[in-house]
């Protein structure tokens, strides 16, 4: 008995040792995200030791301090920092004129005695440091001492610089007030992935978050909503703002404030009712909806107010840009406001949209005096906006084309790729998020193309980059923020983390790395070690599901091979229909199932952090009563803005004369499919049709089409042509079923 016990102990130790060895091997690979321009590896390596010194050339003290502060907690080493003009060993930070002139460029060279980081500026140097941290084991991000880690840095020669200057994230602190501490952590996440622009959405209907000395009610009234125990909110004092701006600047992050106008302004109007058209007193609304109450464009006092606010804002934010919102203005109040109508007449404007252009122009003229450039949601890109502006394109790439042709710059913020308030998946267990544009999985974000047709050569430099959004309006609806294991403590902050990571890492590569070098499979491989980095850094994140690597048909079913995409994690699975958990069967290699719908598999990082299950949904089962599958539609097969034919081959599925029913059934996507008609063709000849309007989406209306096959002919080719289009966007998918009556 005793012997077996010792033997077991021995094997356990052996396993642990080989486990640790395997980690070492993985670590020796360079897995930097975003992928650098050029990486050469050597067989040498540098080991951080308690007596490793950090040398810096004059002017780089701040960067040296940041590096020491990044390395000290996990290593437990108390690094000596010293100014020096040259260094034979240790870590050396230098300002140098690099071949690559970009201010954010850097070079990082590691050999066995020296780690050298060079940058044209402190910004470049900061990025050299970020890459260095990614060469160290994930535990380096921990704020607690990590024992038994060899702090080895592989030998490399890296030269690197970004493709785009605007690498952004937007944080909506208007709908949910994030603490200063959280905002700093958010900046840390960005900086880790070389993102450099924080778009700070400071004002909205549901909250005004920045102290303005001249208008104290903006925060006394406008920063709070709800009554009694439901009362919530908060704001940043001007000192908090200065603190955030400085913290960001030290990490090469520029903070661009957004003061929304004319809409999304209920919090300000609740504080100062004269800012609205009616002067009526409102409360700060607790939910997000498109409000009719917007800033009055017809009164001079509105402009006085906005200019006073902007003056204080400019004093706090050194950023060259100021975001003025401009989205989703409902003009109903302007239409019945005597002041707005008088002004419209006076200026000879055709409609209220031109009144908004007037407002933008007036604000733009004011900001110009402060040498600032306005940024706005793509609604501001209208004729009449004289000076150059930046359009933040969220609707569709056509808007970007219009903007660059008018001479403006653009930043992509496209909903379908960059709205991180959309869920990545729709399967049970996914944290519920917004869904009005469908799903935004990480792979979709990675596929974003910043040079759509028409922009390329001529307007290349007008594309500044991209920015993803963390809208927090869903945080208002307590019921939508479902309890989820990793999101236990401060739910809203963890929720925001979960929306942000890992998609932020994918966006980072889209804006930093040349498109020609972007490769999803390679990215996925490099990412596999990054979840542990997030974890050590204390960030919440979403774990990806296992990947179905292969399924081979066998005599009595399928053999399934799964791929793990997270380092040092297990795959666990079930074959009995139940949801797997961290104690389910461990995956060690290919397994057999009768039907592909029979298995569900998860990635388990640890007992409390595991992914949603990978499974093959059984659509046929769900839709069985509608007959058999005639075909599918996907965003790729539904093209254009108008009705276009979706052709499905029904040869073999139509096998007798008689009446047939075709049913369109939506499965996923943010918008519905509209159907106009279904025509039946026999050998290319139309033989029957059913014309009526139908739709397949969250609700199905008129989605069943019926026709008669007159004389069935064996060997004939049967096809249907359905005239379909997406409602707003072509982003839904679904099944088309056929059933003989």
Q: Which of residues 278-297 bind ligand TNX (CB under 6 A)?
A: none
394 is an interface residue for ligand TNX by CB under 6 A? yes
Return the H-helix or E-strand segment holding 82.
Answer: strand 80-83
Q: Which of residues 1-20 bind ligand TNX (CB under 6 A)?
A: none
| Active-site entry in 264, 323, 408, 530 | 264
Asked if 381 and 403 count as a contact pair (C-beta separation under 8 A), the reply is yes
Q: How far apart are CA 468 and CA 496, in angstroms?
A: 13
Between the CA of residue 659 and those of 327, 338, 496, 665, 705, what are the distances in Å? 50, 62, 53, 20, 11
CB of 434 to ligand TNX, least distance (A): 4
598 is an interface residue for ligand TNX by CB under 6 A? no
**What are the residues whose beta carbons fall under 8 Å from the beta carbon of 624, sequence distance 6 or more?**
none
Catalytic residue check, 300: no
Q: Residue 213: how many CA atoms within 13 Å on its side-chain side?
A: 7
CB of 729 to ligand TNX, least distance (A): 14
End-to-end CA distance of the chain: 71
Catalytic residue check, 619: no
Pick from 107, 421, 570, 674: which binds ligand TNX (CB under 6 A)?
421
Pick from 327, 339, 382, 727: which binds ligand TNX (CB under 6 A)?
327
CB of 285 to ligand TNX, least distance (A): 13
| Active-site entry in 204, 258, 598, 679 | 204
471 is an interface residue for ligand TNX by CB under 6 A? yes
Closer CB to ligand TNX, residue 434 or residue 450?
434
CB of 245 to ligand TNX, least distance (A): 23
CA-based nearest residue to 721, from 646, 622, 638: 646
Q: How far apart are CA 43 and CA 458, in angstroms?
A: 44
CA-based nearest residue to 28, from 13, 50, 45, 11: 45
Between the CA of residue 404 and those of 381, 395, 449, 457, 461, what are the distances in Å? 10, 15, 16, 12, 10
Q: How far apart are CA 164 and CA 182, in angstroms?
A: 26
CB of 439 to ligand TNX, least distance (A): 13
**Diameter of the chain by CA atoms?**
99
Q: Kindly give the pairing relationship between strand 718-726 and strand 704-709.
A: unpaired
63 is an interface residue for ligand TNX by CB under 6 A? no
Closer CB to ligand TNX, residue 308 or residue 327?
327
Closer CB to ligand TNX, residue 380 or residue 735?
380
Q: How far apart are CA 724 and CA 720, in angstroms?
A: 12
328: left (phi over 0), alpha (psi -120 to 50) or beta: left
Asked if 402 and 383 count as a contact pair (C-beta separation under 8 A), the reply is no
CB of 469 to ligand TNX, least distance (A): 7
Contact characters 722-741, ligand TNX, x per CB under 6 A: --------------------
Burial class (CB in 10 A: 0-12, 13-18, 19+), 636: exposed
509 is an interface residue for ligand TNX by CB under 6 A? no
Closer CB to ligand TNX, residue 258 or residue 567?
258
Pick from 104, 240, 473, 690: which binds ligand TNX (CB under 6 A)?
473
Closer CB to ligand TNX, residue 471 or residue 610?
471
CA-based nearest residue to 47, from 165, 130, 157, 135: 135
Q: How far apart are CA 416 and CA 395, in angstroms?
A: 9
Is the C-alpha dihedral spanning 34, 36, 41, 46 positive or negative? negative
State the CB neighbour count (10 A cutoff) for residue 471.
Answer: 22
Q: Give the rounded distance of the alpha carbon of 738 from its chain centre.
A: 38
Question: Can you state the angle between helices 180-192 and 530-537, rounded to 10 degrees?
Answer: 150
Asked if 477 and 180 count as a contact pair (C-beta separation under 8 A), the reply is no
Asked if 287 and 205 count as a contact pair (C-beta separation under 8 A), the reply is no
Pick from 256, 310, 403, 434: which binds ligand TNX (CB under 6 A)?
434
Q: How far apart are CA 141 and CA 155, in angstroms?
A: 20
Asked if 693 and 675 count as a contact pair (C-beta separation under 8 A), the reply is yes
CB of 232 to ligand TNX, least distance (A): 17
Closer CB to ligand TNX, residue 70 or residue 437?
437
Catalytic residue check, 727: no
CB of 670 to ligand TNX, least distance (A): 11
CB of 377 to ligand TNX, least distance (A): 4
412 is an interface residue for ligand TNX by CB under 6 A? no
Closer CB to ligand TNX, residue 256 or residue 630?
256
Asked if 144 and 73 count as a contact pair (C-beta separation under 8 A), the reply is yes
Is the C-alpha dihedral spanning 172, 178, 180, 183 positive or negative? negative
Closer CB to ligand TNX, residue 377 or residue 412?
377
Asked if 170 and 470 count as a contact pair (C-beta separation under 8 A), the reply is yes
3 state DSSP class of 392? strand
377 is an interface residue for ligand TNX by CB under 6 A? yes
3-state secondary structure 331-359: CHHHHHCHHHHHHHHHCCCCCHHHHHHHH
Q: How far apart are CA 112 and CA 90, in angstroms?
A: 9
186 is an interface residue for ligand TNX by CB under 6 A? no
419 is an interface residue for ligand TNX by CB under 6 A? yes
Number of residues that bind ligand TNX (CB under 6 A): 9
Q: Which tokens sit at 224?
A: 């709070």
266 is an interface residue for ligand TNX by CB under 6 A? no
Closer CB to ligand TNX, residue 394 or residue 615?
394
Closer CB to ligand TNX, residue 11 or residue 289?
289
CB of 591 to ligand TNX, least distance (A): 40
CB of 393 to ligand TNX, least distance (A): 10
Q: Which tokens sit at 3?
A: 């012997």
328 is an interface residue for ligand TNX by CB under 6 A? yes
DSSP assignment, residue 383? T
CB of 672 to ligand TNX, least distance (A): 18
CB of 479 to ligand TNX, least distance (A): 17
| Active-site entry in 239, 328, 655, 693 | 328
State the CB neighbour count (10 A cutoff) for residue 50.
Answer: 10
Burial 15-25 (b: 16+ CB within 10 A, else e): eeeeeeeebee
Closer CB to ligand TNX, residue 304 or residue 328?
328
Chain contacts with ligand TNX (rule: CB under 6 A) = 327-328, 377, 394, 419, 421, 434, 471, 473
> Catalytic amino acids?
204, 264, 328
């Amino acid at each position: 008995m005793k012997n077996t016990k010792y033997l077991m102990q021995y094997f356990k130790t052996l396993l642990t040792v080989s486990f640790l060895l395997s980690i070492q091997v993985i670590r020796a690979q360079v897995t930097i995200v975003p992928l650098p321009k050029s990486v050469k590896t050597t067989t040498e390596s540098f080991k951080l030791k308690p007596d490793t010194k950090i040398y810096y050339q004059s002017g780089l003290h701040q960067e040296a301090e940041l590096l020491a502060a990044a390395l000290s907690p996990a290593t437990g080493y108390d690094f000596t920092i010293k100014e020096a003009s040259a260094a034979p060993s240790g870590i050396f930070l230098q300002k140098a004129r690099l071949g690559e002139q970009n201010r954010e460029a850097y070079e990082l060279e590691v050999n066995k005695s020296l780690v050298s980081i060079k940058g044209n500026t402190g910004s470049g140097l900061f990025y050299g440091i970020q890459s260095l941290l990614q060469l160290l084991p994930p535990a380096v991000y921990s704020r607690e001492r990590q024992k038994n880690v060899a702090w080895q840095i592989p030998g490399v020669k890296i030269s690197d610089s970004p493709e785009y200057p605007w690498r952004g994230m937007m944080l909506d602190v208007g709908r949910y007030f994030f603490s200063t501490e959280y905002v700093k952590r958010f900046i840390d996440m960005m900086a880790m992935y070389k993102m450099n622009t924080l778009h700070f959405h400071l004002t909205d209907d549901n909250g005004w978050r920045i102290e303005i000395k001249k208008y104290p009610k903006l925060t006394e009234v406008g920063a709070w909503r709800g009554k009694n125990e439901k009362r919530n909110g908060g704001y940043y004092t001007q000192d908090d703002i200065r603190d955030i701006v400085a913290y960001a600047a030290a990490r090469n992050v520029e903070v661009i404030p957004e003061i929304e106008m004319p809409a999304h302004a209920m919090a300000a109007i609740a504080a100062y009712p004269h800012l609205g058209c009616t002067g009526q007193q409102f409360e700060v609304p607790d939910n997000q909806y498109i409000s009719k109450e917007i800033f009055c464009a017809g009164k001079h006092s509105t402009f006085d107010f906005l200019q006073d606010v902007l003056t204080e804002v400019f004093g706090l934010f050194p950023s060259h840009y100021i975001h003025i919102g401009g989205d989703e203005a409902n003009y109903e109040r302007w239409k019945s406001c005597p002041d707005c109508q008088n002004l419209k007449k006076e200026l000879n404007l055709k409609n209220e949209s031109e009144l908004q252009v007037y407002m933008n122009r007036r604000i733009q003229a004011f900001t110009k005096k402060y040498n600032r450039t306005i940024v706005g949601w793509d609604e501001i890109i209208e004729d009449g906006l004289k000076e150059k502006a930046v359009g933040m394109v969220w609707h569709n790439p056509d808007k970007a084309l219009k903007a660059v042709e008018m001479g403006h710059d653009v930043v992509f913020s496209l909903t379908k790729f960059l709205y991180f308030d959309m869920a990545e998946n729709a399967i049970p267990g996914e944290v519920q998020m917004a869904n009005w544009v469908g799903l935004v999985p990480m792979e979709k974000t990675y596929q974003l193309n910043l040079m759509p047709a028409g922009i390329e050569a001529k307007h290349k430099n007008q594309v500044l980059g991209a920015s993803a959004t963390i809208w927090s309006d869903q945080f208002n609806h307590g019921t939508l923020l479902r309890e989820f294991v990793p999101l236990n403590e401060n739910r809203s902050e963890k929720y925001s983390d979960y929306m942000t990571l890992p998609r932020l890492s994918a966006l980072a590569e889209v804006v930093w790395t040349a498109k020609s070098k972007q490769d999803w499979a390679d990215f996925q491989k490099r990412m596999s070690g990054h979840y542990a980095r997030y974890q050590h850094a204390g960030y919440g994140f979403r774990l990806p599901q296992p990947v179905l690597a292969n399924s081979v048909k066998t005599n009595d079913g399928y053999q399934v091979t799964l791929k793990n995409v997270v380092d040092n994690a297990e795959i666990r699975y079930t074959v009995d229909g139940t949801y797997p958990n961290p104690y389910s069967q461990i995956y060690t290699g290919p397994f057999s199932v009768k039907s592909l719908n029979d298995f569900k598999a998860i990635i388990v990082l640890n007992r409390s952090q595991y992914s949603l299950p990978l499974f093959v949904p059984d659509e046929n089962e769900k839709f069985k009563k509608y007959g058999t599958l005639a075909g599918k539609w996907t965003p790729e097969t539904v093209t254009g803005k108008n009705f276009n034919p979706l052709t499905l081959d029904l040869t073999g599925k139509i096998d007798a004369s008689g009446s047939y029913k075709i049913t369109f059934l939506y499965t996923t996507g943010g918008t519905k499919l509209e159907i106009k008609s279904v025509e039946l063709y026999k050998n290319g000849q139309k033989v029957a049709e059913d014309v009526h309007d139908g739709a397949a989406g969250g609700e199905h209306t008129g989605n069943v089409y019926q026709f008669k096959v007159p004389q069935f002919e064996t060997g004939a080719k049967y096809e249907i042509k359905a005239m379909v289009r997406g409602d707003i966007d072509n982003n839904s998918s679904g099944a088309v079923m056929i059933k003989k009556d």
